[in-house]
A = this chain, B = another copy of it.
């Protein structure tokens, strides 16, 4: 883990303070560490030792999981020839600058040839490691162990019509006033409030910290060093609040996992998958952090920090932070339509990877898919195919994990509510009742169980769309 943690520090620094012209060297430093990791991990002795083991050789769950994880590594990433890995890194680096330039100039043609290269490399990667039904399965499985197109299609098919129906119903009501969220505020005072909220959620600043970056993120630099960032550039004050709660949700997961002495410091001692990770951040950001109960407790403190909210009632505030509307930008979308943004991207990248959609047609495909799924037609490429950095970063198969997180979070919350009074814990600020459940059922497990097993053991059910659609219907029919 040491090398990965050093690499993480390089990324952290790049996002939070490195000078502009240092980027080239920093990426060379990062490449050096990657190749060091690859060399160590694929050294002959190690590889043979792992091949000679089978999962049942583990004498405890933790050992079995480690063996499973190593075997997966050799079956997937280690199968990729070093030439492909380093080419991927180079093209991604190029992709990111071309994407930035294309976005700034609103000209897809600048990025299109590079996107063609990246899609073709991703397909090559999928073909080498792919054993599933679909090439895209191989990519999904890298972010979410065991996830397939078949399973996702089924989950999304249950979700989409529910969201569509709720959005249409909401549109028949007069729009909610949320203008008071876009007021000037004192950043240090808001940061004080945000630190307090993170503290209530159990974020341990002896083992982590908070920075500022263009886009909020969480990064683990060591078993005792988990950091989050936030931004104060969005006109809405709730942007920073939601980001803080979201990233804290990620951070307390990794901080919790590494307190389990049996897995601490191993590759099991952190969140198990992107989907489960998103469940922890979204549980807090949306399911809890946009609920009235949460704000019964927290709103008086927020009002102290933000004088402009003095005359806004709790009720008005909670309505405003749950305002729903079809809009262009995924990261600013409400809790409900966010899911449609992801479904749109999922449908497109599936087709890009299986070859049924050509990159040259992808911009128009995005726009028409957006009209259809989201009911919003992008006005320019920045609202369309150039909106997100993920593809420029070579990350195909990543987007679905955001909504997977919602499915998991809903399942966890439904189970929690059977076991204790979540509403009362929230409204009285006893957040530790909730984090104790998370810690016991999710964090302490680290990477020991596969995501689906983890969900089954925590909730007693195989994951399906039920909990999340019930949650949405209940919340957005009654708001």
Query: How many identical chains are in the complex?
Result: 2
Q: Which residues of the partner chain B approach A18 to less than 8 Å between Cβ atoms?
A: 209, 221, 225
Q: Which residues of the partner chain B approach A206 to less than 8 Å between Cβ atoms?
A: 19-21
Q: Which residues of the partner chain B approach A26 to less than 8 Å between Cβ atoms?
A: 222, 225
Q: Could you tell me the distance between the alpha carbons of A209 and B19 in the complex, rounded to whole angstroms? A: 6
CB A1 to nearest CB in B, in angstroms, measures 9
Q: Could you tell me the distance between the alpha carbons of A2 and B33 in the complex, rounded to whole angstroms? A: 10
Provide the A1-37 mask, 1 if CB < 8 A to any CB of B, else 0: 0110110011011000111111011101100110010
CB A325 to nearest CB in B, in angstroms, measures 37
Q: Which residues of the partner chain B approach A10 to less than 8 Å between Cβ atoms?
A: 6, 9
Q: Which residues of the partner chain B approach A21 to less than 8 Å between Cβ atoms?
A: 206-207, 224-225
Q: Could you tell me the distance between the alpha carbons of A227 and B223 in the complex, rounded to whole angstroms? A: 27
Contact yes or no, B32 A2, CB < 8 A: yes
Q: Which residues of the partner chain B approach A19 to less than 8 Å between Cβ atoms?
A: 205-209, 224-225, 227
In this complex, the member of A18, A207, A208 whose beta carbon has the largest number of chain B beta carbons within 10 angstroms is A18
Closest to A22 in B: B225
**Cβ of A382 under 8 Å from chain B:** no
**Cβ of A211 under 8 Å from chain B:** yes
Q: Could you tell me the distance between the alpha carbons of A221 and B9 in the complex, rounded to whole angstroms? A: 13
Closest to A26 in B: B222
Contact yes or no, A222 B6, CB < 8 A: no
Q: Could you tell me the distance between the alpha carbons of A111 and B224 in the complex, rounded to whole angstroms? A: 27
Known: A17-B211, A209-B17. A6 touches B22 (CB 8 A): no
Closest to A205 in B: B19
Q: Could you tell me the distance between the alpha carbons of A3 and B10 in the complex, rounded to whole angstroms? A: 12
Q: Could you tell me the distance between the alpha carbons of A29 and B225 in the complex, rounded to whole angstroms? A: 13
Contact yes or no, B29 A5, CB < 8 A: yes
CB A23 to nearest CB in B, in angstroms, measures 9
- How many interface residues does chain A have, given as a range? 20 to 34
In this complex, the member of A3, A24, A211, A221 whose beta carbon has the largest number of chain B beta carbons within 10 angstroms is A221
Q: Which residues of the partner chain B approach A24 to less than 8 Å between Cβ atoms?
A: 224
CB A164 to nearest CB in B, in angstroms, measures 45
Closest to A13 in B: B9
Q: Could you tell me the distance between the alpha carbons of A22 and B207 in the complex, rounded to whole angstroms? A: 6
Q: Could you tell me the distance between the alpha carbons of A31 and B468 in the complex, rounded to whole angstroms? A: 47
Known: A9-B9, A9-B13. A2 touches B22 (CB 8 A): no
Q: Could you tell me the distance between the alpha carbons of A280 and B3 in the complex, rounded to whole angstroms? A: 36
Contact yes or no, A25 B209, CB < 8 A: no
CB-contact partner of A25 in B28, B33, B222, B227, under 8 A: B222
Q: Could you tell me the distance between the alpha carbons of A28 and B17 in the complex, rounded to whole angstroms? A: 24
Closest to A30 in B: B6
28 A-B pairs with CB atoms under 8 Å apart are A2-B29, A3-B32, A5-B29, A6-B6, A6-B29, A6-B32, A6-B33, A9-B9, A9-B13, A12-B13, A13-B13, A17-B209, A17-B211, A18-B209, A18-B221, A18-B225, A19-B205, A19-B206, A19-B207, A19-B225, A19-B227, A21-B225, A22-B222, A22-B224, A22-B225, A25-B222, A26-B222, A29-B222
Nearest 3 interchain pairs by C-beta: A22-B225, A25-B222, A21-B224
Instruction: A9-B13, A19-B206, A25-B223 are known; give 12 further A-B pairs, CB within 8 A.
Output: A2-B32, A3-B32, A5-B25, A6-B10, A12-B13, A13-B13, A18-B225, A19-B224, A19-B227, A24-B224, A25-B224, A26-B225
